[in-house]
Structure 1
Amino acid sequence: NENDGFRYVNVPVRDLESEDISQYFDAACSFIEEEMASGAVLVHCVAGRSRSGSVVIAYLMRRRGLSLKQAIDTCMERRRVTPNQGFMSQLEAEERRLNAAPQCGP
């Protein structure tokens, strides 16, 4: 989507532990990666802590190869992120999935 010269993607998730934010990790991470190639990216939600934090943490784990703890620490250097417990469980599952993926190299 585009509005006033800004490209954006909407992740229609409420900040509830029962919401499945992980279903949007692929699209959100791809969008962030594409937009980072041409400049800065703003990821936001109402409070800027749970939903947006969860998306950025997922991005850092997927695209930068950080562990969940490293990704949270990196975010915390810039903003106090606090994914709700449901999102945190999904991020933990994402970390397990990423660690189980076949590794390239020697």
Structure 2
Amino acid sequence: MPLLKKENEQLLHQQAFFYRLPTGEKYNGKAYLTNQAFYFEGLFQIRAAGVDAIEGIIEIKLEEIKKVERFSKYLLFNYLRLTLKSGQIYLFEAGLASTQKMQALLSKLHSH
């Protein structure tokens, strides 16, 4: 995990995702779930005109999460939606990979 770990922070799960913005932009990267936060490390921006390398990390503290939802689109593409207490929504697409483990762990952790 290329992130600086906080005291007593433990990696619980990691998974490749696309982070989808409401504007339609899409970022390829990897999500990391620890016992303290959900991180997304962006690697590439995917656009119709090409692919750009990017650097950036989103950090969402578990106590900021209000709701965790898992759903499929067209019966194939799997998504994870995180709604924060502030109302902000983060949408992550896993493609054909399952989001079940990430969703189950997040649901369990954020409810404590």
Instruction: Decide: shared fold, TM above 0.5.
Output: no
Whichever structure has more helix as a proportion of its residues is: 1
> Looking at both structures, which has the greater relative contact order when contacts are Cα pairs under 8 Å and sequence separation is at least 6?
1
- Which of the five TM-score ranges fits, normalised by the shorter chain? 0.3 to 0.5
Report which of the two has the higher share of strand. Answer: 2
